[in-house]
């Protein structure tokens, strides 16, 4: 089974709650503070949930006002913002060092 829910809205709510419990709001005190780490993690999780790429998830957000509202987005992140956030968050992850060694 892929997920416990089929609803992207419920999935985003759960992803936001987990991100708020585990991450600080911003990665650095001098970050631009356009988007919180919680929002970026939830959008990246949504990308995986919808099985799309960075540009695809931005397009979904552009068309889905309920998701934007749930995420608290007043503007849409550029796809490169998501890519850089993904790299930064993977670097901080304790299990990220093993990702390159997986052979499936």
pLDDT in tens, 55-71: 999 999 999 999 999 99
pTM over 0.85: no
pLDDT at 39 over 70: yes
pLDDT at 45: 95
pLDDT at 93: 57
Residue 82 · residue 43 · CB < 8 Å: yes
3-state secondary structure 16-61: HHHHHHHCCCCCCCCCCCCCCHHHHHHHHHHHHHHCCCHHHHHHHH
């Amino acid at each position: 089974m892929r997920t416990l829910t089929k609803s992207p809205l419920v999935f985003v709510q759960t992803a936001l709650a987990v991100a708020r419990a585990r991450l600080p709001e911003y990665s650095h005190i001098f970050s631009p503070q356009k988007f919180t780490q919680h929002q970026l993690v939830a959008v990246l999780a949504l990308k995986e949930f919808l099985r799309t790429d960075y540009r695809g998830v931005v397009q979904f957000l552009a068309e889905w006002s309920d998701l934007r509202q749930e995420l608290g987005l007043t503007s849409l992140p550029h796809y490169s913002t998501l890519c850089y956030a993904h790299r930064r968050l993977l670097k901080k992850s304790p299990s990220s060092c093993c990702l390159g060694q997986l052979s499936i």
